[in-house]
């Protein structure tokens, strides 16, 4: 996936700031300063910081999809990524169960899964993509899978990441497998 250098610089700037600061407290000026780019450049590519965040999440998820050969790889890489970036995840979601971040993550992941299901390269994330593609309601099924994955991550955060990564990965894989074998159509 080819990306404009300016967009990449803004995404990297936001990711860097999120290591130390909650998303709600980040300003466009701070993002521009971190990226060493002008505010007018920011608005050339993004409507606001929420648009930048959505594009950053979408980029990261697509990178994980590209690195994954199977749905097991995808789950492992997604949860490992979140485990390696706990501060970012915490700064995005806050401590509130009412956070809209989880809803947005489910929506974005669902879109990524739908795109994979419609792709010519269904070899990636194969069983899940095939089931979504063959479903009578692909959009609903992609939300169900996305909810299982993001729900596991949310639970992990609510438990202060005290559960080993592999245990979370295994649980999410098992859940996805059960959903898959349930043949929701």
Alpha-carbon dihedral sign for residues 150, 4, 69, 126: positive
Task: Flag whether 34 is in a domain.
Answer: yes
Task: Flag whether 60 is in a domain.
Answer: no
List per-residue pLDDT tens for the chain, 185 residues long.
456 999 999 999 999 999 999 988 999 999 999 999 999 999 999 999 999 998 998 899 888 888 888 878 888 998 999 889 888 888 887 655 456 788 888 888 898 888 888 875 544 556 778 888 888 999 999 999 999 988 888 888 888 888 898 999 999 989 888 888 775 44
Do 23 and 99 sit in the same domain of this protein? no
- What is the chain's alpha carbon radius of gyration, rounded to the nearest angstrom? 17
| CA-CA-CA-CA dihedral for 177, 170, 108, 99, to nearest 10 | 120
Q: What is the pLDDT, as a whole number, of residue 94?
A: 64
Do 82 and 132 sit in the same domain of this protein? yes
State the pTM of this model: 0.81
**Cβ atoms within 10 A of the Cβ of 161, count?**
15
What CATH number does residue 34 fall under? Answer: 1.10.10.60
Domain count, the chain: 2
- Residue 11: which domain range? 1-47
Task: Flag whether 54 is in a domain.
Answer: no
* 7 CB-near residues (< 8 Å, 6+ apart): 45, 55
Would you call 14 helix, strand, or coil by DSSP? helix
49 sits in which H/E element: helix 49-67
């Amino acid at each position: 996936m080819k990306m404009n250098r300016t967009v990449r610089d803004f995404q990297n700037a936001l990711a860097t700031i999120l290591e130390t600061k909650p998303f709600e407290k980040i300003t466009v000026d701070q993002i521009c300063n971190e990226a060493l780019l002008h505010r007018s450049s920011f608005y050339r590519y993004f409507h606001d910081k929420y648009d930048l965040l959505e594009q950053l999440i979408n980029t990261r998820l697509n990178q994980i999809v590209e690195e994954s050969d199977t749905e097991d790889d995808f789950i492992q890489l997604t949860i490992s990524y979140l485990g390696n970036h706990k501060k970012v995840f915490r700064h995005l979601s806050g401590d509130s169960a009412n956070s809209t971040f989880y809803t947005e993550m489910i929506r974005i992941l669902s879109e990524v899964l739908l795109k994979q299901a419609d792709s010519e390269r269904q070899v990636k994330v194969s069983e899940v993509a095939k089931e979504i593609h063959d479903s009578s309601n692909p959009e609903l099924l992609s939300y169900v899978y996305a909810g299982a994955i993001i729900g596991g991550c949310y639970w992990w955060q609510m438990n202060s990441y005290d559960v080993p990564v592999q245990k979370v990965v295994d649980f999410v894989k098992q859940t996805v497998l059960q959903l898959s074998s349930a043949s929701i159509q």
